[in-house]
Every structure is written in C-alpha cells, then in structure tokens.
Amino acid sequence: MSTEKPRDLTRAVKQYVDRDALKKDVSFSMADISSAMMDQAALFAHYGVEAAKASRQVDDLKLMLENTESRVHRELRDAAAEKGEKVSEALLDRMIARDSRVINAKRALNEAKQIENVAKIAVESFRHRRDMLVQQGLIQREEMKGEVAVIARKTREESLEAQRDRILELRKK
C-alpha cells in the first residue's frame, strides 16, 4: 500500500466564473439598452466558453478519479496477495472508498461539478438577459411609435389651425 501523502486536488480545481463579474455583466441599464444589445453576443460567447472549460474540468477529474481508484485497487489487492490474505471485491470496494487519495479526488470532482453548474447557470442567465433585451426593445419601439403618433397629430393640428387662420384672414379682406 502506498504511503504517499495525497496532494489536495481541490486546490487545483479552477474557478471559471467570477460571481461578481457575472452579476455586473448580466445587468443592463434601460438608459443604454442599445449598448447592452450590442454586448449580448460577446458576453454569451464568453460565458459559453467558460462553461465548456468547466465541463472539461469535470471530465478530467472523473478520469483522474477512475485512475486513482484503479491504482488504489491494485495496491490493496497486491498488498493482500503479499500477505496471503484473500480479500473480497466488496471489501476492496469499501477500502478503496475510505482511501484518502480517493476521497480527495471525489472532493475535487464535487467542487468541479459545482463550478460547472455555476457556469451553466451563467450561460442560462444570458439567455434570459437576451429575452429581456428583446422585450425591452419592443416596449421602447412601441413607446416611440406612440410618441411619433402624438407628434404627428400635434403637427397636423397645428397645420390645420394655421390653414384655418389663413382662410379666416383671407375672408376678412
């Protein structure tokens, strides 16, 4: 059995999404909706790439866990064979599960899964942001139509009033 001290794999797990930056990037101002619309695709792509990296990290750690379990299994089986002990697979599985290297690899994998979930939520939040931007754009366009209609009606009324005044002036003469 190996006496090597396992290195802490959870420290090697990389954080891909900064929660404060995400909060800032997802928010937008109604006063500057055009800029928010222009930035949407780039931000979505950025966080999508980060989610892919987080997913790859999970896959790498799954592979590392499988290799660690396999190595520990071989060490335990060989150690038992050297001592002439017969060990069942069920006992070996329990011993593997308690090995500090396996526990460390599982903790790292759990941490990576949590990071992957945050990255997926980030991507999903940009889908919601896109929908909100589209909705706000529609609302602003309708408001502008209303403002244009009011201005057009006011201009028409002023034009009609000016024509009426001219006609009245002509009749007085």
The domain spans of the chain are 9-124
Angle between helices 33-83 and 89-98 (to 10 degrees): 130
Q: pLDDT tens digits for 66-109? A: 999 999 999 999 999 999 998 899 999 999 999 999 999 999 99
Burial of 66-85, coded b for 16+ CB within 10 Å and e otherwise, reads eebbeebbebbeeebeeeee
Q: pLDDT tens digits for 25-37? A: 999 988 888 899 9
**According to the model, what pLDDT value does residue 155 have?**
84
Q: pLDDT tens digits for 110-151? A: 999 999 999 999 999 999 999 999 999 888 888 877 776 777
Tokens representing 87 are 């060990």
Is residue 109 a contact partner of residue 10, using CB atoms and an 8 Å limit?
no
Summarize the chain as % helix, strand, coil (round to 5). 85, 0, 15
Residue with token string 């931000």: 43
What is the rounded distance in angstroms from the CA atom of residue 121 to the CA atom of residue 102? 29
